[in-house]
Amino acid sequence: VSCPKMQELLKWNGWGYNDSKFIFNKKGVAEFTGKRYRLGGLVLPLLKEWMEKTLGASIEHKTTSRTSLNTSDVPPPIENQEFLQDLRTAKISYSQEAEDRVFRAHGHCLHEILILREGMFKRIPDVIVWPVCHDDVAKIVELACKHNLCIIPYGGGTSVSSALECPADERRTIVSLDTSQMLYEKNLTAHVEAGIIGQDLERQLGESGYCTGHEPDSMEFSSLGGWVATRASGMKKNIYGNIEDLVVHIKMVTPRGVIEKGCQGPRMSTGPDIHNFILGSEGILGVVTEVTIKIRPIPEYQKYGSVVFLNFEQGVACLREIAKQRCAPASIRLVDNTQFQFGHSLKPQVSSIFTSFLDGLKKFYITKFKGFDPNQLCVATLLFEGDREKVLQHEKQVYDIAAKFSGLAAGEDNGQRGYMLTFVIAYLRDLGLDYYVIGESFETSVPWDRVLDLCRNVKERIVKECKERGVQFAPLSTCRVTQTYDAGACVYFYFAFNYRGISDPIHVYEQIEIAARDEILANGGSLSHHHGVGKLRKRWMKESISDVGLGMLKSVKEYVDPNNIFGNKNLL
Amino acid sequence: MAMAAAESSRLGNLLYSQKDFTSKKRDEFEDILEERRQSSDLRYAMKCFTPVVYKGLSPCKPSAIKNIVLQSEQLQYVIKQLSKETGESPDIIQEEASEILDEMSHNLQLGAIRIFAFSLSKIFKRLFQRVRLNEEGIQRLQQAIQEHPVILLPSHRSYIDFLMLSYLLYTYDLSLPAIAAGMDFMVMKMIGELLRRSGAFFMRRTFSGNKLYWAVFAEYVKTILKNGYAPIEFFLEGTRSRTAKTLTPKFGLLSIVMEPFLKREVFDTYLVPISIIYERILEESLYAHELLGVPKPKETTSGLLKARKILSEDFGSIHVYFGQPVSLRTLSSERINRCTYNLIPRHLPQKPSEEIQDFISDVAYKMELLQIENMVLSPWILIAAILLQNLPSIDFALLAEKTLWLKDLTQAFGGFLEWPDNLCAKKAVRSSLALHSNIVNLVNDQVVLNDQGMEAGTTEEVVFKRALSILMCGAYRNQLLNVFVRPSLVAVALQMTHNFRKEEVYGCFAFLRGIFSDEFIFFPGIALKDFEEGCFLLTKCDAIQVTAQEILVTEKGSTIVSFLTAMFKPFVEGYQIIYRYLLKETNEAFVEKQFLSGLGNFGFQLLAAGSSHCYEVLSSDMQKNALAALVRLGIARKMKTNNGFTYAVSKEALNKTAEMFESRIPIRKPVAARL
């Protein structure tokens, strides 16, 4: 029984790689460790002040996580010896080690991480299994039906919807089906086993000059099967599409048998598309084992860019116009002023006087010469892809539109830094947790005409709720428009606050998050654009898809999995 | 049972909150005229005026607002629709819209405000002894203006209302409101323009049929609100109440100003109830004439100049109470299905769902009840109530004694009594009589209704003059009814049922409440709560004892119960006369005008013959309310015809109601009174 390599590289109680994290060094200055990211090893002199100013956090007030798992706290497994015997006969590897079980008991919601740092889950998987191919999965599901066990599929573990949490009242043995060993390829037409992790998939395709172009922010850790099961969305969806546009064929093992289409035609009119039962099913119907995914040649040329706007309103109007003209670059994101200032605080120490002089000059030009108010302006970051000539042409078109909304081009470097931040920002929460700051991100999608109202109202609601619930410090409440569509946009919020002086911060946090979601729905936003529902957002499903809609899903579940083998209780 | 279910479901949404009678805390009053009498009006008018503004304000000129309105998706959509319907080119309709906007829109200018501030100082000082307001309310308002768009909802008793309000806001350095005023004002030369420049905008009294007008108007109001340009002010009652009873609310403007929040175009909206109460109403005699059918003079500038003679008279004190700002967000939480507006683009006109309409109506009633709660009651109001029960005259000492008794009762009922400088009863009564010497006289220690020239005229003139005085007096008594209506209806019900079974008393109460819902403000759908409130107040002053099955009047209580019943008698009797008239006199169908004149004659004859003393039946207000109630209860039908509305009464149904009203037949079993 082998413990997979990836797990050893990752933090057991936080986000990402063990060697990569924000710390305050001996001089009390922030630093990002490790060599994996561009920010790695750099000193960030502005971050401390930003945390003090924006969140009221102080370096003197520190909380500490326990440093390692105390295995005696871990609930003992509910064992099913016959099942284990059958696994051994089938030569499928498994583990009952406490570390392995706890590692797969959670995603990355705030409350889950806090439990790792300070508490213990009530219920965790009893056994982890590592199938290596579709047939293994079919066998495991068959055995689970035979012994009446509960299966929770596990991919990369990056869920933020409590989807991986074990239902506390589940009395059967819970099998965590970890797909991470299913990653050998049968052929290079991108027929891939579903356990592969995003970055490995891109790397392997890259060796042959191809890519899928699907790049969710979690792609370093999340798996192909997970993307399918949650209806994931990638940063560059404007060129490559979201996961539902990318998959050509899916194979899923269910208690009722294997579901798949009979051919790989690019489009079919054969009644409702059965893929839509699988996409976003969140592990309640079965395990995705194999996926055929579209691939594209790696683009010849990539270019980052950025635009500064006078204010958020102008920025949104510009994005709307770009979407209308259908000329959005591979990625376009608009961050509000708060997030712009936050990005600023993550600027590394400059290496020469010359750079700092240049920065000063730029700042002078924008604020004094062009009249941009540093407390109002906001920034759009851009990523263009394609062949060189077309990229340059495209770039000009986008900057021309931006100019109509008095947007100023603000350089490649700012754009690139913006995208780099999306990968490291997840690490920042762990730093915050050390200093009494808890936070989370959440997202929605909304028609264009409501984008501004929704952003303003949700942010204001968060501030109001914090005040009413006794939060002593002003919260961080900020958003960005992170994807554009013909009919609307995806909006992403960050919310964090300093909980010093509050006795039950996690409860307060949850109440505020619920209020924020209520506010989103009241403003015509959706329950989720790409995070999914899990157990965290179940309460709003009925109003999101109607009684009849919910009934349809339930009847599918009833047919496919009458004994609730896939008993993670997500979605319905 | 169905009704009971509907009622309880409506109860579920707790817009209505049970009042706390024991610990009602109200702010102190300050007189603002005092300072005006001591320092220069000119300096006051020229003072530095820098009001606090809404935090989300995007500053713009009135002309820019016009452009925003004309270019708005909402208006452009309606213009396109109209163009399709009528075949007219969009440009012409756009031009029309632009004209409507010009006619309507305000043009706030500081200069005009300064002129107003100066001249109003002069006028107010001459007319009024004191203008008193609660400064804490002003502070709350100042805070509210910075946080969210604010809607000012004053009560409406006089033309002075909105002048006074703007004047007060100017005095306290608060943004002047954009006021929805009737078009009648605009035709007044100069004054119209001055009003416009001090922030008023004008709406036609009726424009229900005119889609373009409605669209322009709604968009204009919403634009002002969303930009946070200025607080918006309008009168829920729609028009000045001639009887000093709060009028049932109109929903049009309220639904417009609520829409931006309901569609989440703003985070929240504050509604501020404001109670403006006059010790002596400027238009008191005019109103009485109007109620008796003497046509209302058109507002003209020269008319206003003639009104100058009133400048030499004393109109006592004014009390203005700024209520607590009410957050629309709080009112709507858990109440409104948020998907309502999510499936239609927000610029498309959308008829509010039934749920939303109910909500708007509840909000309107709630705000009016809040106005009522903070209306100040002066000694004269108590005197008027007593006097009307003791016509033609009452001994001065007795009057003073009864006034004192009523003062205690009013306080027990939670009335907002302001007793001038802790004067003893006799002095307070004497000074009130002096202030209202046009209505009452003190002759040989007898207080008599002013009946100048009464013995000289024809019977007709005598009745008319008598009615005038009584209606004028009644307008003051009516202000007490606001506080007394629930216990009074319990008292009337006790008397009408002749027995003390709680269930039957409640049945009668609910019946009366239904009949009088156009006369008085009842929160929709909570008859039982109103009944309990009435009983609670009566129990509190030991007038009744409530057991599980019965309601018993105590010995002490019989005085109170008969006083309350007598106070309510004009309404009960008036309605009886109206029903009698309708049963005997009319054809199958009639228009309102026929009804009013026929009923007027009928009443006149009764009064002239001395077979009734209910002069208030001559009030067109009561007549119209009675008819509206019959329509509401399904006893009469209102049909639209070419020349206005026609009414038809079902005599059978009316007969039944009339008989119940005269306690000749028992009232139907009360509907599921869970007592």
With a CB cutoff of 8 Å and minimum separation 6, the contacts of B607 are B463, B466, B467, B613, B614, B615, B618
**Average pLDDT value over all residues in chain A:** 90
How crowded is residue A29: how many other Cβ atoms within 10 Å of its Cβ? 16
Q: Residue B339 above 60 pLDDT? A: yes
Mutation target among B68, B73, B338 for the A interface, most CBs of A within 10 A: B338
Of A454, A460, A522, the CB nearest to B338: A522
**CA B531 to CA B514: how far, in whole Å?**
12
pLDDT score of B14 more than 50: no
CA A459/CA A439 separation, integer angstroms: 14
Q: Do B338 and A460 touch (CB under 8 A)?
A: no
Residue of A nearest to B335 (CA): A522
| Chain A: closest CA distance from residue B51 (Å) | 24
The count of other CB atoms within 10 Å of the CB of residue A172 is 18
CA distance A55 to B67: 41
Q: How confident is the model at residue B519 (pLDDT cuts 50, 70, 90)?
A: very high
Checking if the pLDDT of A159 tops 80, the result is: yes
List the single range of B214-218, B495-499, B520-524, B651-655 with lowest mean pLDDT: B495-499
Q: Do B341 and A524 touch (CB under 8 A)?
A: yes
For B664, other C-beta atoms within 10 Å of its C-beta total 8
User: Annotated catalytic, A427?
Assistant: no
pLDDT above 60: residue B8: no
Residues of B with Cβ-Cβ distance to A461 under 8 angstroms: 267
* Closest CA in chain A for residue B226: A453
Query: For the segment B401-416, what is each residue's pLDDT rounded down to a tens digit?
Result: 999 999 999 999 999 9
In this structure, the strands spanning B416-417 and A296-297 are: unpaired
The whole-angstrom distance between A460's CA and the closest CA on chain B is 7
Question: What's the pLDDT tens digit per position in B348-375?
Answer: 888 888 899 999 999 999 999 999 999 9
Can you read off the two tokens belonging to residue B171? 């005095």
Q: Is the peptide bond before B392 cis (omega within 30 degrees of 0)?
A: yes
* pLDDT > 70 in chain B, percent: 89
Contacts (Cβ under 8 Å, ≥6 apart) of A519? A457, A458, A461
Where is the binding site, in residues of A?
A: 153-159, 230-233, 282-288, 429
- How far apart CA A293 and CA A245 sit, in angstroms, is 9
* Residues in A 326-355 with any Cβ partner in B closer than 8 A: none
Q: Report whether pLDDT(A2) > 50.
A: no
| Residue B345 to residue A447, Cβ atoms within 8 A | yes
Selection from B209, B212, B211, B252 nearest residue B101 by Cα:
B212
Query: Stretch B547-574: mean pLDDT, rounded?
Result: 92
User: Averaged over B231-238, what is the pLDDT?
Assistant: 92
Contact B342 A524 (CB under 8 A): yes
Task: Answer yes or no: is pLDDT of B51 > 90.
Answer: no
Report phi then psi at A251, rounded to 5: -120, 130
| Top-confidence residue, A366 or B417 | B417
Return the structure tokens found at B41.
Answer: 């009006």
Q: For residue A517, which residues of chain B lie inside 8 Å, CB to CB?
A: none
Could you tell me the pLDDT band of residue B518, with boundaries at 50, 70 and 90?
very high
pLDDT of residue B198: 74
Cα B537 to Cα B490: distance, rounded to the nearest angstrom? 10
| Residues sharing a CB contact under 8 Å with residue B149, sequence separation 6 or more, in sequence order | B54, B225, B226, B228, B231, B232, B260, B266, B269, B270
Nearest to A449 among B338, B339, B346 (CB): B346
Candidates B264, B339, B345; nearest CB to A453: B264
Q: Of A447, A522, A543, which has the smallest distance from its Cβ to B264's Cβ? A: A522
pLDDT at B110 exceeding the cut of 90: no
Place B673 in a pLDDT band, splitting at 50, 70 and 90: very low
**If you average pLDDT over residues B161-171, what whole number do you get?**
89
Rg over alpha carbons for chain A, rounded to the nearest Å, is 24
Q: Is it the case that residue B126 has pLDDT exceeding 80?
A: yes
More confident residue, B119 or A317: A317
Distance (Å, whole) CA B256 – CA B180: 12
Chosen from A445, A454, A457 to mutate, greatest number of chain B CBs within 10 A: A457
Whether residue A88 has pLDDT greater than 90? yes
Instruction: Give the model's pLDDT for residue A122.
Output: 93
**Above 90 in pLDDT, residue A559?**
yes
- Quick: pLDDT tens for A452-495: 999 999 999 999 999 999 999 999 999 999 999 999 999 999 99
Rounded to a whole number of angstroms, the distance from the CA of B149 to the nearest CA of chain A is: 14
- Residue B300 pLDDT exceeds 90: no
B173-184 average pLDDT score: 80
Q: What's the confidence (pLDDT) of residue A85?
A: 95
Q: What is the mean pLDDT of residues B463-492?
A: 93
Contacts 24+ apart (CB under 8 A), A558-561: A559/A256, A560/A254, A560/A255, A560/A256, A560/A259, A560/A285, A560/A286, A561/A254, A561/A255, A561/A256, A561/A284, A561/A285, A561/A286
pLDDT of B454 higher than 60: no
* C-alpha distance from A546 to closest chain B C-alpha (Å): 11
User: Is it the case that residue A108 has pLDDT exceeding 70?
Assistant: yes
A261: left (phi over 0), alpha (psi -120 to 50) or beta: beta
Catalytic residue chosen out of the listed positions A304, A492, A499, A509? A492
Chain B residues whose C-beta sits inside 8 Å of any chain A C-beta: 264-265, 267, 338-339, 341-342, 345-347
Q: Do A449 and B267 touch (CB under 8 A)?
A: no
On the CB side of A31, CA atoms within 13 Å amount to: 14
Residue A41 makes CB contacts below 8 A (sequence gap 6+) with A31, A32, A33, A34, A35
Best residue in A313, A448, A450, A519 for a mutation probing chain B (most B CBs within 10 Å) = A450
pLDDT at B337 exceeding the cut of 80: no
Residue for token pair 């009952």: A96
Q: How much is the mean pLDDT over chain B? A: 86
What pLDDT is attached to residue B186?
59
- H or E element in which residue A19 lies: none
pLDDT tens column, B237-265: 988 899 999 999 999 899 999 999 999 99
Tokens of A393: 């042409």
CB contact under 8 A, A449 and B345: yes
* pTM over the 0.80 mark: yes
Tens-place pLDDT, residues A291-301: 999 888 899 99
Q: What's the pLDDT score for residue B672?
A: 45
CB contact under 8 A, B264 and A447: no
Q: Is A45 touching B (CB cutoff 8 A)?
A: no
Distance CA A193, CA A401 (A): 43
Q: What is the pLDDT averaged over residues B297-326? A: 76
Please report residues of B whose CB lies closer than 8 A to that of A460.
Answer: 267
Which tokens is B82 given?
């109209």
Interface A–B counts its CB contacts (< 8 A) at 25
Tokens 């409590």: give the residue: A162
For the segment A44-76, what is each residue's pLDDT rounded down to a tens digit?
988 999 999 888 888 888 888 888 888 888 999
pLDDT of residue B2: 40
| CB of A521 less than 8 A from some CB of B | yes
Q: Which of B265, B342, B345 sits opposite A453 (nearest CB)?
A: B265
Asked if A522 and B265 come within 8 Å (Cβ–Cβ), the reply is no
Query: Confidence class of residue B596 from pLDDT cuts 50, 70 and 90?
Result: very high
- SS percent in chain B: helix, strand, coil, step 5: 55, 10, 35
Predicted confidence band of residue B309 (pLDDT cuts 50, 70, 90) = low
Annotated binding site of A for FAD: 153-159, 230-233, 282-288
Min Cα separation B265/chain A (Å): 6
HEC letters along A286-309? CEEEEEEECCEECCCEEEEEEEEE
The enclosing H or E element of A237 equals helix A237-240
Query: The dihedral of CA A59, A60, A64, A67: what is its sign?
Result: positive
C-alpha to C-alpha distances, B622 to A49, B512, B627, B628, nearest whole angstrom:
71, 15, 9, 10
Mutation for testing the A interface, residue in B148, B265, B267 having most A CBs under 10 Å: B267
Helix (H, G, I), strand (E, B) or coil at A496: strand
Distance from CA of A108 to the nearest CA of B (A): 30
Mean of the pLDDT values across residues B543-567? 92
Q: What is the pLDDT of residue B344?
A: 84
* Chain B contact set for A454 (CB, 8 A): 264
Work out the pLDDT band at A163, boundaries 50, 70, 90.
very high
Contact A543 B339 (CB under 8 A): yes
Closest-CA residue of chain B to A488: B345
Residue B3: band (very low, low, confident or very high) from pLDDT cuts 50, 70, 90: very low
- A521 to chain B, minimum CA–CA distance in Å? 7
Q: Identify the weakest region by mean pLDDT among A157-166, A223-232, B413-422.
A: B413-422
Helix ranges restricted to H, A469-538: 505-522
Are the beta carbons of B347 and A449 separated by less than 8 Å? Answer: yes
Positive or negative, the CA dihedral B289, B292, B297, B299 is positive
Mean pLDDT of B84-92: 91
pLDDT at A517: 96
Rounded to an integer, what distance in angstroms lies between the CA atom of residue A473 and that of residue B427? 58
Given this model, what pLDDT does residue A187 score?
45
Q: Does A457 touch chain B (CB under 8 A)?
A: yes
pLDDT beyond 60 at A4: no
**Angstrom distances, CA of residue B496 to CA of A6, B491, B492, B506, B580:** 87, 9, 6, 11, 18
Q: Can you say how many angstroms the Cα of residue B615 is from the centroid of all Cα atoms in its chain? A: 22
Residue A335 has pLDDT above 90, yes or no: yes
Q: Which residue of B has its CA nearest to A456?
A: B267
**Shortest Cα distance, chain B CAs vs residue A114, angstroms:** 31
Interchain CB distance below 8 Å, A457 and B267: yes
Per-residue pLDDT tens over the stretch A214-230:
999 999 999 999 999 99
Q: How far is CA A382 from CA A385, A416, A487, B345, in A?
A: 10, 8, 20, 29
- Least confident stretch, A99-108, B71-80, B192-201, B406-415: B192-201
Considering chain A, what percentage of its residues have pLDDT values greater than 70? 96
With CA atoms as reference, the chain A residue closest to B342 would be: A524
Tell if the CB–CB gap between A456 and B267 is shorter than 8 Å: yes
> Which residues in chain A are closer than 8 Å to B345, comparing Cβ atoms?
447, 449
pLDDT attached to residue B459: 80
Give the up-direction half-sphere exposure of residue A506: CA atoms within 13 A in the CB hemisphere.
11
Angle between helix A47-55 and A337-345 (nearest 10): 140
Contact status of A523 with chain B (Cβ, < 8 Å): yes
Calpha distance B173→B175 (Å, rounded): 7
